[in-house]
Amino acid sequence: MRNLKNTWMVVAVLGLGSVGVACTSSDDVGAACPMEVPPPTTDNTGIVNYPAVYEVNTEFPCDSLTCASTDGRDAYCTRACSADGNCPTAFTCANILNVNPDNTSESVKTKFCIWRGCRAQLECGDVSKYDCIEGDYGPTSPPGLCGPIQKKSSSGGD
């Protein structure tokens, strides 16, 4: 009986250890990605529109091999999602277009994690990682978008 109890304890400890590893795995959503970003367009009223696009490419350094560009931002790693809860806190789950013309029918059905609109840093979740960055992100966005906290360059005046 004692051996069986010890066996179950080892199984429980190993099980908890593997769950801990799965929960702490790194998430590269939002990391810089080398996708070419399409240029913005201007409509007849002078409003600048930034295309929201994604591309899947085995050359991309992302876990999902998928990069996105939204709201005039540089390209970043993303992943498919079905709801906001599938994305890191600074992101929302939304439809975006595929830049590969042969894959357009699938792009209508697929949602991806994209930077969330915000008015304050707290709306972006982890304040040690994300900030609300103000900018001109188009007519339908709030005044800012969540983004990684910008590292301040140190001036070496000493």
For the segment 84-129, what is each residue's pLDDT rounded down to a tens digit? 999 999 999 998 876 555 555 555 568 999 999 898 899 999 999 9
* Contact between residue 113 and residue 79 where contact means Cβ atoms under 8 Å apart: yes
For residue 32, what pLDDT band results from cuts at 50, 70 and 90?
very high
Domain ranges of the chain: 28-115
Please determine, for residue 3, whether its predicted confidence score (pLDDT) is greater than 80. no
Long-range pairs of 143-152 with CB within 8 A, sequence gap ≥ 24: 143/119, 144/117, 144/118, 144/119, 145/71, 145/73, 145/115, 145/116, 145/117, 145/118, 146/90, 146/91, 146/115, 146/116, 146/117, 146/118, 147/30, 147/73, 147/90, 147/115, 148/30
Q: What are 12-26's pLDDT values in tens digits?
A: 333 333 333 333 345
For residue 33, what pLDDT band results from cuts at 50, 70 and 90?
very high
Task: Please state, in angstroms and rounded to a whole number, the distance separating the CA atoms of residues 90 and 113.
Answer: 9
